Amino acid sequence: MVISVDEKTSVGTLLHPLRIGSLELRRNLLLSPICGVSNSAHRILCKEHGAALVFTEMTKAKMLGEENEKTLSLASYFPEEHPVGIQLGGGDPDDMEEGARIAEGMGFDIVDVNSGCPARKVTKQLEGVALMSDPALVGRIIERMVRAVSIPVTIKVRLGLTHESINAKEVARVAVSAGAKMVTIHGRTAQQGYSGTSDWERIAEIKAALCDAIVIGNGDVRSPEDAKSRMKQSGVDGVMIGRGSFGNPWIFDQIAHYLEHGTHLPGPTIDERRETLFRHYEILGQIYEERTQHIVMRRIASYYTQGLPFATSLRRFAQKIRLAEDVHFLANNFFTAEFVERPREVLAKAGVVPDETPEPCEDELATCS
């Protein structure tokens, strides 16, 4: 059944299954590709808490065929992650075709083209968001990939390079004509980086222009209310969530529940937060050697402290994680009911000096290397 945009504006139908080419998703809530974060540990937890499709961090298509340890770790996944997508970066149609073929051979369910990364080291090679300056090239890349594989090929774009050169509609049209089965739009320009806000009016215009294509909206969905209002406003087929899931894999089920029932699920208890922190740490241990596991854990543990008392002090502690004992100390002292009730006492007992400076916002914690 095709659901019209008007019908979709009632709360009940905003949440629905989604078909992307041959891939059937149980619901229309997706996890973004996020370098440094959307590894298997984050993906598994988001999956368990309601994300219907998860993506790897961007992996360079050209490197995929090489026995490069970093690339293999970026492109590995566990069976329970299915359906799982890989996001490829690259600007050469040969590399992208070959990358798609390898990705399909690795068992990925979907392959996405990165046309949104604004990092200089990526754009200077005419990759990432730089692809938007050449829609015809986007068309050639997608066409070659679509011909090479039977899994769906998709693309993630920004609005354009600058405010003066917004062309997401054109790029999306070209991509869909070339066979892309889904277009995700992050409603910022490359020039904006992560500043300002995602422009959902523009996203709505693109969805309206590409009415038959699957269009996913992205940017600044941090709560069930955000998801509902953005979906209503734009008529998109689903939302993709990035930063709102950092230290918060529960966001997907929370959104689904709100869209379905109009009420909020209770947030995770402090015990659930502690257990989830430990699980995140354990899975990181299965994908990285110990030193990397602890370096990555510094950032991940910081995300999980959001909303806890004296989070700035806890984050300072998290930045020093070097050993398993540090993770256990953090979790067992501060992710506890006792800490939530009597934070100053627990900090004093643990020998951590309370920092009274206000909480930084999540954006300040998020940097793409």
What does the binding site for ligand FMN look like in residue numbers (CB under 6 A)? 32-36, 57-58, 87, 114, 116-117, 156, 186, 194, 218-221, 241-244, 366-368
Active-site residue among 35, 46, 117, 361? 117
Say how far apart CA 298 and CA 301 lie, in whole Å: 6
The least CB distance from residue 127 to ligand FMN, in Å, is: 11
Q: Which amino acid is at 185?
A: I
Say how far apart CA 357 and CA 224 lie, in whole Å: 28
Nearer to ligand FMN, 14 or 190 (CB): 190
The least CB distance from residue 341 to ligand FMN, in Å, is: 32
Say how far apart CA 155 and CA 151 lie, in whole Å: 13
Q: Angle at which helices 324-334 and 343-350 pack, to 10 degrees?
A: 150
DSSP β-ladder status, 23-25 and 18-20: antiparallel
By the 8 A CB rule, do 72 and 89 touch? no
By the 8 A CB rule, do 168 and 206 touch? yes
The least CB distance from residue 369 to ligand FMN, in Å, is: 8
Say how far apart CA 170 and CA 286 lie, in whole Å: 42
By the 8 A CB rule, do 287 and 304 touch? no
Is 117 an active-site residue?
yes
Residue with smallest beta-carbon separation from ligand FMN: 242
By the 8 A CB rule, do 43 and 54 touch? yes
Angle at 268 between CA 310 and CA 25, to 5 degrees: 130
The least CB distance from residue 31 to ligand FMN, in Å, is: 9
Q: What is the phi/psi pair of residue 202, to 5°?
A: -65, -40
The least CB distance from residue 80 to ligand FMN, in Å, is: 22
Task: Provide the annotated active-site residues.
Answer: 117
